Amino acid sequence: QVQLVESGGGLVQPGGSLRLSCSASGFTLDYYAIGWFRQAPGKEREGVSCISSWDGFTYYADSVKGRFTISRDNAKNTVYLQMNSLKPEDTAVYYCATHSGAQLLAVRWRHPIYYDQWGQGTQVTVSS
């Protein structure tokens, strides 16, 4: 009944850009902190970015700071991840998810265990 759906992935050359979207149906994203994660073959799922529910505070992994930007559009019930200057090491399946609480978000945002609902993921491939 309730779903999260990621979109916007694809094949892009190094240095290129993509914008991922995370859209909700059956519930409102406004009440949740929303995280973006990625998982490459043979590697653990890692936190990429997160945006809080009330004040819009943002968090980024060191590896993407200055290149990725997370944002939300409440009117569209959608959270975005703008990815610029993409590198081959950014290749992964990207997931969005809802966070179960705001307390200690600065520490917990990058850990999948604290997230409740997940989308099915969208593939991002950075290759020449």
Instruction: Give CA–CA dist 95/45, Å, rounded.
Output: 9
The 3-state DSSP class for residue 108 equals helix
pLDDT over 90 for what percent of the chain? 84
DSSP state of 47: E
Q: How far is the C-alpha of 127 from the C-alpha of 89, rounded, in Å?
A: 9
Instruction: Compute, in degrees rounded to 10, the torsion defined by CA atoms 87, 92, 93, 98.
Output: -70
pLDDT at 65 over 80: yes
Residue 59 has pLDDT above 90, yes or no: yes
Of the given ranges (21-30, 79-88, 102-111), which has the lowest mean pLDDT?
102-111
Structural contact between residues 6 and 122, judged by C-beta atoms closer than 8 angstroms = yes
Please compute the mean of the pLDDT values over residues 77-90 and round it to a whole number.
97
Q: Compute the radius of gyration of the chain from its Cα atoms.
A: 14
pLDDT, average across residues 8-34: 95
At residue 86, what are phi and psi to the nearest 5 degrees?
Answer: -65, 145
End-to-end CA distance of the chain: 40
